[in-house]
A and B are shown apart, each in its own frame.
Chain A
Amino acid sequence: MTEHVEIEELLFEVADLREAHAKAPAILRCLDGAESQLMAAMNVAGTAACRGLIDAALRLLQVARPEIEVEAAPVAAPPPADDLDPELLDSFLNESIEYLAEAESSVLRLEADPRLKDAIDQIFRAFHTVKGTAAFLELDSITEVAHRSENLLSRARNGEVVLAGGAASAVLSAIDVLKALVGELKTTRCRPGRPANLAQLLAALDSAGEGAVPPRLEPAAAEQAVAPSAAPVAAGSAHADGESADSVRVRVDRLDRLIDGVGELVIAQSMVAADPSVGKEASRELLKKVAHAGKIVRELQDLAMSLRMVPLRATFQKLARVVRDASRKLGKHVQFVTEGSETEIDRGMVDVIGDPLVHMVRNACDHGLETSAQRLAAGKSSAGTLTVRSHQSAESVVIELIDDGRGLDREKILARAVKQELITADQAAGLPDADVYRMIFLPGFSTSEKVTDMSGRGVGMDVVRRAVESLSGRIEIDSTLGQGTTFRIRLPLTLAITDGMLVRVGDQRFIIPTVSIAMSMRPAPDQLFSVGGAGRMVAFRGRTIPVFRLSDLSKSGDEPGSLAVVLNDGDGHTAVLVDEILGKQQVVTKTLGDGIPATRWIAGGAILGDGRVGLIIDPSNLLARFRESGSETTFLR
């Protein structure tokens, strides 16, 4: 039984290392592997088999142990020599390189078939986007080339010029010049000067297409057109999608089918692994093979999931623009800082989270940050700082919005809440700060005294909260009066897969998303008590929190449940009693479809290891449901 002690210690180590290496997917995969070996070792009968699995786990653990840390230090980008914003500059560089490559292949496509309207549009968009950002960064020569090219493209769009021969060459030369300028910018991180042949190029762009339009492409011109770049040559004929050399565009539905398929594979594999005949002493070889297959399947799953991920960079860039516009409009000086824009989130989440972030950023500029005069009077620097920061932890993506403004005013919020009869003055006095701050998420709640052009017009923080919750995420607030406010949004890594805790209530199983679980515990009888005979409370971290029984809603068991899963839904901690915790599990989220009326607190279903359907709980709606049905006393604190 000494093995069991060892396994438990190693499992703890895995958990610690996971925290330490939250940003290193390769190491996390090793840890996953080690963990599954250890879990198998825990369940396997026979010391020899157990030992073998532990050793396998140890080998995997070696990779992650600090003494031979393999994590490479991030390559520091050379600091910009002048006032260029490094974040913006990086995104501009990446974006431009991509757009220019696209434009180039589109020109080539267009030369092969001048009727391709969408190719002209694509080139136009590319120049237009490059021009926009370049103008914002005051990159004059790039702006000028892009602008003149855009003019030519605009004429081509109107049918005045056919983009072939000389005109196409001019566009391609423009692309080459832009590429060179962008390349120079990338290495020197200084605004490039005017290239020597700029005037010549601009003249060529302006005069292109004048005179007779060549009906057919001359071979010489075609050669010249293709010559400047080697990579996208093939794009001229076969690749109609205009992809660049190292990326492929894939239809979203195919991607989703692939991810679904991999999800099924994961389930099928875990069904094999859970088969009783695999765990037998006689089948050690089989166990090894199954574990090996499991490792491959998990790697495949990670890979498939990563296909859905996109960096937050574009979202953050949009915010930079919002801050710029808002601060000019408000006459405030705001310094906008982004950190961790390379953090990736599920493609499906980007759109949902984008607008709420814009709203929060506007709010922060408008209400959070003071005017320069107010700041100076308070002994702060005249410019406010707004930071958007993102990082990925083991199970979630965290996006923080931090301002160094006036902070949330507890008294003001409470006064408002009492006025709107949300709470009584007596209740207000005892409320912890966190509960007070959360009131700003209530529908129709606004503390702003004046309605301005950008906020206070009904689209409140409740919309933000709903958006976050619709993604199974949650939002928290930290604030210090006079020093600033931090909004912290926690989102699951992906929408397709839910990291969940599988619980049993009577004969039913439910999956509770791990992101909402604060902890689980087995309350001792003296920790559980009732208030006024009706509401039940449990002591939790020095406070009492309401307790509800899942069996009251699921009707799947008579027992009250002996295990408490403490959920945090942004409205505070609440314990939910279940009969048993069956373990952690990643499940592929599936909709129950429109063939059955929606139960508000069921987010969907998942196929469990035994092939049956388990229901996934929507924690915030579950708690809302409990609060509606629960007696008044459960609200006391």
Chain B
Amino acid sequence: MQTSLAGKYLTFALANEEYGVEVLKVQEIIRLLPITPVPEVPAHYRGVINLRGKILPVIDLRTRFGLPIGEATDKSCIVVMRTGGTTRGVIVDRVIEVMKLEDSMIEPPPDLCGDVRASLLALAKADGRIKLLLDIDHVLRDVAAPAAERAAG
């Protein structure tokens, strides 16, 4: 991890955890729109929404990370992210804030194995809480991974 990870992050809550993604990857934040489920895709694809006339796939990060399924609240929203030329929406429980993280606040991720490790860029400590900084490109690119692992196992 040679390059500095310092910069602006959008932080959001998912179950009891707090996550952060680079703000540059975030296109916009929208309220939870009605989602049309798409049959026969992995479970973490919640479906597609109409984003001003364009069809946008939406991913449930809770399901993606194997967290318990949560009820949608009025704080739930969709973070629209652009990675590798593809735009997708990600459902989060609550958007917290955009914060600037300094190098001093960032630590390498703990020794973990598998998909969880690959999904993490680093940990950040701010306001006395741990924030998991996501490698959102990996999270969204490797979206077929959980299903593939299940099939292999």
Most chain-B CB neighbours within 10 Å: which of A260, A553, A615? Answer: A615
Given A595-B57, A602-B38, 17 extra CB contacts under 8 A: A260-B53, A508-B36, A508-B37, A554-B39, A556-B37, A594-B86, A595-B86, A595-B87, A596-B38, A596-B45, A597-B45, A597-B143, A599-B39, A599-B40, A605-B36, A614-B36, A615-B38
Contact with B along A423-463 (1 / 0, CB 8 A): 00000000000000000000000000000000000000000
User: Which residue of B36, B57, B88, B144 contacts A615 across the interface (Cβ within 8 Å)?
Assistant: B36
For the complex, give the distance between the alpha carbons of A223 and B68 in Å: 82
For the complex, give the distance between the alpha carbons of A596 and B36 in Å: 13
CB of B96 closer than 8 Å to a CB of A: no
Q: Are B36 and A599 in contact (CB under 8 A)?
A: no
B window 111-153: CB within 8 A of A: 140, 143-144
CB-defined contacts of B45 to chain A, threshold 8 Å: 596-597
Minimum CB distance partner of B54 in chain A: A590
A window 253-301: CB within 8 A of B: 260, 264
Minimum CB distance partner of B34 in chain A: A612
For the complex, give the distance between the alpha carbons of A611 and B49 in Å: 9
CB of B48 closer than 8 Å to a CB of A: yes
Minimum CB distance partner of A614 in chain B: B36
Q: Are A613 and B40 in contact (CB under 8 A)?
A: no
Distance between B108 CB and nearest chain A CB, rounded to angstroms: 30
Distance between B49 CB and nearest chain A CB, rounded to angstroms: 7
CB of A555 closer than 8 Å to a CB of B: yes
For the complex, give the distance between the alpha carbons of A614 and B13 in Å: 30
CB of B41 closer than 8 Å to a CB of A: yes
Minimum CB distance partner of A550 in chain B: B39
Q: A591 with B50: in contact, given A597-B45, A599-B39, A599-B41 (CB under 8 Å)? A: no
CB-defined contacts of B86 to chain A, threshold 8 Å: 593-595
CB of A337 closer than 8 Å to a CB of B: no
CB of A592 closer than 8 Å to a CB of B: yes
CB of A304 closer than 8 Å to a CB of B: no
Most chain-A CB neighbours within 10 Å: which of B34, B36, B47? Answer: B36
Q: Are A613 and B36 in contact (CB under 8 A)?
A: yes
Minimum CB distance partner of A507 in chain B: B37
For the complex, give the distance between the alpha carbons of A508 and B86 in Å: 26
Distance between B67 CB and nearest chain A CB, rounded to angstroms: 21
For the complex, give the distance between the alpha carbons of A607 and B49 in Å: 9
CB-defined contacts of A590 to chain B, threshold 8 Å: 54-55
Contact with B along A412-430 (1 / 0, CB 8 A): 0000000000000000000
Distance between A59 CB and nearest chain B CB, rounded to angstroms: 35
User: Which residue of B37, B41, B48, B50 contacts A597 across the interface (Cβ within 8 Å)?
Assistant: B41
User: Which residue of A264, A508, A553 contacts B40 across the interface (Cβ within 8 Å)?
Assistant: A553
A window 564-612: CB within 8 A of B: 590-597, 599, 602, 604-605, 607, 611-612
Q: Are A595 and B54 in contact (CB under 8 A)?
A: no
CB of B23 closer than 8 Å to a CB of A: no
Contact with A along B28-64 (1 / 0, CB 8 A): 0000001011111110010111100111110000000
Instruction: Please name 24 pairs of A and B residues whose Cβ atoms are closer than 8 Å in the assembled complex, sorted by A.
Output: A264-B53, A508-B37, A592-B38, A592-B48, A593-B57, A593-B87, A595-B87, A596-B41, A596-B45, A597-B42, A597-B45, A599-B38, A599-B39, A599-B41, A602-B38, A604-B55, A605-B48, A605-B55, A607-B50, A607-B53, A607-B55, A613-B47, A614-B36, A615-B38
Minimum CB distance partner of A267 in chain B: B53
Q: Are B144 and A596 in contact (CB under 8 A)?
A: no
Q: Are B50 and A611 in contact (CB under 8 A)?
A: yes
**Lowest 5 A-B CB distances belong to which pairs?**
A596-B57, A595-B57, A613-B36, A595-B88, A605-B55
Distance between A148 CB and nearest chain B CB, rounded to angstroms: 52
CB-defined contacts of B39 to chain A, threshold 8 Å: 553-556, 599, 602, 615
Q: A613 with B48: in contact, given A597-B144, A605-B36 (CB under 8 Å)? A: yes
For the complex, give the distance between the alpha carbons of A218 and B134 in Å: 71
For the complex, give the distance between the alpha carbons of A78 and B102 in Å: 84
A window 294-336: CB within 8 A of B: none
Most chain-A CB neighbours within 10 Å: which of B39, B42, B88? Answer: B39
CB-defined contacts of A554 to chain B, threshold 8 Å: 39
User: Which residue of A553, A556, A592 contacts B55 across the interface (Cβ within 8 Å)?
Assistant: A592
Distance between B153 CB and nearest chain A CB, rounded to angstroms: 19
